Structure 1
Amino acid sequence: MSDQRHLPPEALDEWTRAACAELGLSRADVDISLVLDLARDIAHGVARPAAPLTTFLTGLAAGRSTDPDAARAAIAKVTALAEEWDA
């Protein structure tokens, strides 16, 4: 038996609801597809280890903003950065 755990796609929403509840966040504020697309774009455009780091940094930036659209704006900024990245 593998030590790795895999979350089936149908369980992702359940996990998101549970994590939001634990963190005191509203599930309505989380766009799962947008976050997954961000992680994919960073993993493919920069490097796989950059994906979780960038999603954390993006969330941190959005959380510090008073703009209700801060998450989308932050995601757009780092996605554009990844598209231009050539390191």
Structure 2
Amino acid sequence: MTDKNRSLPPEALDDWAAVLRERFDLVAEDVPIALILDLARDVANGVARPAAPLSAFVAGLAAGRAGGSPEDVREAVAAITELALGHETPPAEPGS
């Protein structure tokens, strides 16, 4: 692993999205960066930070199984966001 700065400027994220689109033969609408970043933020704040990448994966999986259209992606993200915003973390066990 290289010692790169992992805090990317927005254009670096756009560049990475372009690499992914090219590799997987996708168009810009297939990779809704802002939507996915909003999902990650809402899940990280409403559930837990490690739940964000898991939720993004599940959103893609659910959208793909529903047909894979941009609308399917938006619907999956909306459903997960709703769950995250209403999620109540159970209280910590005493002594943990």
TM-score > 0.5 by shorter chain: yes
- The structure having more radius of gyration, on CA atoms, is 2
Which residue pairs with 1:18 in the alignment? 19
Which residue pairs with 2:39 in the alignment? 38
How far apart are the structure 1 equivalents of 2:76 and 2:8?
26
Change in Cα spacing, 1:67 to 1:11, as seen in structure 2 (3 Å) is: closer
Structure 1: 5+ residue runs without aligned partners? none
- Would you tell me which structure has more helix in proportion to its own residues? 1
Which residue pairs with 1:64 in the alignment? 65
Task: After superposition, give the CA deviation of every residue in 1:56-78 in whole Å (9 maximum; x if it has no partner).
Answer: 11011111112631100001101
Which residue pairs with 2:93 in the alignment? none
TM-score normalised by structure 2 residue count: 0.79
Task: After superposition, give the CA deviation of every residue in 1:10-69 in whole Å (9 maximum; x if it has no partner).
Answer: 211111010122223222322110000000000011000000000011011111112631
How far apart are the structure 1 equivalents of 2:68 and 2:39?
19
Q: CA deviation at 1:4?
A: 4.8
Which residue pairs with 1:6 in the alignment? 7
Structure 2: 5+ residue runs without aligned partners? 90-96
TM-score normalised by structure 1 residue count: 0.87
Q: How many residues align?
A: 87
